[in-house]
Structure 1
Amino acid sequence: MTSVSVYKQDGSQAGTVDLNDNIFGITPNENVVFDTVLMQQASQRQGTNGTKSRGQVRGGGKKPWRQKGTGRARQGSIRSPQWVGGGVVFGPSARSYAYHLPKKVTRLAVKSVLSEKVANGDLVVVDSLSFDQPQTKAFASLLASLDAATKTLVVLEDGNDNAARSARNLDRVQVISGKGVNTLDVLNSQKVVITKAALSQLEEVLA
């Protein structure tokens, strides 16, 4: 098993912890990571752009002039696409861009990016993060002592609300739960700081 150092809340070292090699010690699969990132980014698209076709535009029920005898081109409606204010041909319509990949694929992608973080020394395990009340300054000092002051993903166990609120106002710091670790968030971070309790939750999900 791969062992990494465990740090206390004050930044001092508190021993080591063994990581599951089936999660943190695999060979990264770049193709699976790429497919999963595309899926997550597509699912984040709002898809709210839209235009109206000629059947959705208001008005235009009456034929503007008779079919023959005027010398002008025949027209059936003033809401045809060639008219100003008419419908749009083949325009975009509001829709969802989301799609899903098999669970085995998405889990393999998460394992791949986590294994890469461990290999690069960018995964930091903290014994616990306990705050009596939200303390942003104390949380920022903790991240600085762990050399994880910028673009950091903090993974907390469920119910640790004070720690989550302590990091909420910090720039370029994102907080998620151990059960919510995903490929895109791990890739977008330079450091991953995770508590031992959240590590157990993560291993339980990915095992």
Structure 2
Amino acid sequence: MTKVALYKQDGTQAGEVELADSIFAIEPNEAVVTDAVLMQSASLRQGTHSVKNRSTVSGGGRKPWRQKGTGNARQGSIRAPQWRGGAISMGPIPRPYAYKINRKAYRLALKSVLSDKVSAKNFVIIDELNFEKPSTKAIADSLNKLEATKKTLLVVDDANENAKLSARNLPNVQVTTASGVNVYDLVKAQKVVIVQSAVKQVEEVLG
């Protein structure tokens, strides 16, 4: 079993936590991690790009000049693609970019990124985050004591609303729940700070 230090909310160490080797100590598979990141990046694209083609552009109902005898090239409409203000040929149309990869491959990608964070000592477990009311200053102080000041992913349990509200205004912190942990957010984060109860939820899902 892999052991990781357990910290309190005030930054002091409170012991160690044993993590499942099958989730937090595997050999990272870079190929499936790349596939998972590309999939999530594609899903974030809106795909609302659009151009007007010959059927949607307005005007051009009349032939600009007769077919023969003018010395000009023959034209059927002033809204053809070669005219300024005309239609766009073969331009982009609205479409979704989202696609899915195999569930087993995505779970392997999650385990790979988690294992990499643990081996690089960028995985911090905190026993709990308790706040009587939402307080950005209080959670910022806790993260500073844990040396999590740059690009931090904070993972809390689903019921901890005060922690979510406290951290949402910190520009360098992204908050998610144990059920919302994903490869894209893990890869972006320099350090992962996770509540102990959320670790158990992650192990239940990926175990």
Does structure 2 conserve the Cα–Cα contact (< 8 Å) formed by 1:47 and 1:95?
yes
Alpha-carbon shift at residue 63 of structure 1 (Å):
2.1
Structure 1: 4+ residue segments shifted above 6 A: none
What is the 5 A alignment of 1:1-207?
A: 1-207=1-207
Does structure 2 conserve the Cα–Cα contact (< 8 Å) formed by 1:150 and 1:171?
no
**Counterpart code for 1:177:** T
**Counterpart code for 2:109:** A
Structure 1: 5+ residue runs without aligned partners?
A: none
Does structure 2 conserve the Cα–Cα contact (< 8 Å) formed by 1:7 and 1:125?
yes
**Counterpart code for 1:70:** T
Structure 1 Cα separation of the partners of residues 93 and 22 of structure 2: 44
**Counterpart code for 2:74:** R
Using the size of structure 2 for normalisation, the TM-score is 0.95
Structure 2 Cα separation of the partners of residues 98 and 117 of structure 1: 27
**Counterpart code for 2:70:** T
Tell me the SS of whatever aligns to 2:26: coil
CA RMSD, aligned part only? 1.3
Using the size of structure 1 for normalisation, the TM-score is 0.95
Identity fraction in percent? 58
Alpha-carbon shift at residue 70 of structure 1 (Å):
3.0
**Counterpart code for 1:103:** R
Alpha-carbon shift at residue 23 of structure 1 (Å):
0.7
Structure 2 Cα separation of the partners of residues 136 and 71 of structure 1: 75
Does structure 2 conserve the Cα–Cα contact (< 8 Å) formed by 1:167 and 1:175?
yes
Alpha-carbon shift at residue 65 of structure 1 (Å):
2.6
Structure 2 Cα separation of the partners of residues 134 and 89 of structure 1: 54
Query: Matched residue pairs, number?
Result: 207
CA shift digits 1:98-138 (9 cap, x unpaired): 11111111111110010011111111111111111111111
**Counterpart code for 2:120:** N
Alpha-carbon shift at residue 74 of structure 1 (Å):
1.6
**Counterpart code for 2:179:** K
Tell me the SS of whatever aligns to 2:89: coil
Structure 2 Cα separation of the partners of residues 205 and 56 of structure 1: 50
Tell me the SS of whatever aligns to 1:88: coil
Tell me the SS of whatever aligns to 1:174: strand
Structure 2 Cα separation of the partners of residues 159 and 120 of structure 1: 29
